[in-house]
């Protein structure tokens, strides 16, 4: 797909991977509408020429408010990038169940609800795309982020099913699987991290190339290991 001239709705576009996706898509001629929750970050992106919409996607009302704010604007590409991370480890203390609910909604329910709401207008376009950003952890979970891993695995399954449902229609359905990326969510992780600029570049390359998956960085290796031995892949990831 040539993104020049395309209208993109990008959730979670004011920081991290989303901000880099917005910048690189804009540089290629796309018209980017991005969402976020932080007023200062949204203002900075608006100053850089992006259309911005404040949106809290951790609940149904927030998703519905975003759809209402869009009005009847055409959308060619929907990128479900917004997400929440939450620790959930029962070994030390009982986790926060409400935080888990918010994580599950933002990472799984919100993309499904947004796709359902916007699919009719995507179907009116000559060519369109849906990109769901999951994680390498959707393939094999780590130990401490069990709810986050579950939400991304759920979105991976949904994306694969949606791709089959839309086969024959001019709508690409792409899953982007990043590795550990240097973002606010991973700021406390003392390990090697991919720069968000490179992660965004690889996702856009998959979109332009019509690929069904963007296995970013080390996720390529994880996918290879999993194809040979799912048990080995799971064993490796449980160490993190």
The single residue listed with the structure tokens 């796309």 is 30
For residue 1, is it within any domain?
no
For residue 178, is it within any domain?
yes
For residue 122, is it within any domain?
yes
Residue 99: give its domain's CATH number: 3.40.50.720
For residue 125, is it within any domain?
yes
Q: What is the pLDDT at residue 185? A: 64
Spatial separation of the C-alpha atoms in residues 25 and 239, rounded to whole Å: 35
Spatial separation of the C-alpha atoms in residues 69 and 52, rounded to whole Å: 10
pLDDT band at 131 (very low <50, low <70, confident <90, very high): very high
For residue 101, is it within any domain?
yes
- For 90, phi then psi, to 5°, come to -80, 0
Domain range for 181: 7-237
For residue 53, is it within any domain?
yes
Rounded to two decimals, the pTM is 0.92
- For 178, phi then psi, to 5°, come to -75, 155
Spatial separation of the C-alpha atoms in residues 115 and 113, rounded to whole Å: 6
Number of domains in the chain: 1
Residues designated catalytic: 148
Q: What is the pLDDT at residue 94? A: 82
Looking at the DSSP assignment, which residues form a beta bridge with residue 181? Answer: 194
pLDDT at 107 over 80: yes
Tell me the two tokens of residue 48.
Answer: 């850089």
For residue 206, is it within any domain?
yes
For residue 73, is it within any domain?
yes
């Amino acid at each position: 797909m040539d993104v020049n001239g395309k209208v993109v709705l990008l959730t979670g576009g004011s920081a991290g991977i989303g901000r880099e996706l917005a910048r690189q898509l804009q540089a290629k001629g796309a018209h980017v509408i991005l969402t976020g929750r932080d007023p200062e970050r949204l203002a900075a992106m608006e100053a850089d020429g992006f259309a911005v919409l404040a949106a809290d996607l951790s609940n149904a009302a927030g998703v519905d408010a975003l759809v209402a704010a869009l009005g009847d604007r055409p959308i060619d590409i929907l990128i479900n990038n917004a997400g929440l991370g939450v620790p959930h480890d029962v070994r030390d203390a009982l986790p926060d169940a409400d935080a888990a609910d918010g994580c599950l909604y933002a990472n799984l329910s919100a993309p499904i609800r947004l796709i359902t709401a916007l699919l009719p207008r995507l179907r009116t376009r000559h060519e369109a795309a849906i990109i769901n950003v999951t994680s390498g952890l959707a393939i094999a979970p780590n130990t401490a982020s069990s709810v986050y891993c579950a939400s991304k695995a759920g979105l991976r399954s949904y994306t694969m099913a949606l791709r089959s449902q839309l086969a024959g229609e001019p709508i690409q359905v792409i899953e982007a699987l990043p590795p550990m990326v240097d973002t606010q969510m991973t700021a406390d992780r003392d390990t090697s991290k991919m720069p968000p600029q490179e992660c965004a570049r690889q996702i856009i390359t998959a979109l332009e190339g019509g690929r069904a998956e963007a296995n970013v960085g080390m996720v390529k290796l994880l996918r290879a290991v999993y194809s040979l031995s799912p048990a080995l892949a799971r064993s490796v990831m449980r160490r993190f």
